[in-house]
Amino acid sequence: MEYVFQNELRIYFFLKYVPGGNIYDNLYKVQRFNEPTVKFIAAQIVLALGYLHCNQIVHRDLKPENVLMDEQGYICLADFGLAKFLTENDLTFSFCGTAEYLAPEILDMKGHGFQVDWWTLGILMYEMATGRPPFMNKSHHRLGILIRTGKIIFPDPVKHGIEMSP
């Protein structure tokens, strides 16, 4: 964040201009990223989440729309509206996040910590590599069942033309 101020009605947050757009829009244009690009973006997100976690912040809403890219492909995390300060051994019980990216711990409402950010990173990596999240369903109830019990299916390289190393 570059700057923040408020008036009687609103709080205004100003971010640095990131001309490359967000991952969602970039992914929509190309359908999926190649493996080196996924690794490059994921490595940066690992560093960003590590920094947040060391500063006792859990993001809780990592998704393609909340990862901005500059023109060289370097990322900037955005939208800290669901972020929370949390100590290492504490749990939070808020039901929050975006349906396709929710970790099972959030769905079960038994408390969650920093691990939910790592879950969403895995979901995001899968989506960047394949063009869609691993769990999808129009019914939020069915989606929750898939997230809790579903098996992640990796696309057939011959049928879908998506190559992924082990």
Cite the active site residues. Answer: 61
Packing angle, helices 23-30 and 115-130, rounded to 10: 20
As a whole number of angstroms, the distance between CA 18 and CA 130 comes to: 25
Inter-residue contact 100 to 123 (CB < 8 Å): yes
As a whole number of angstroms, the distance between CA 61 and CA 150 comes to: 21
CA atoms within 13 A on the CB side of 110: 4
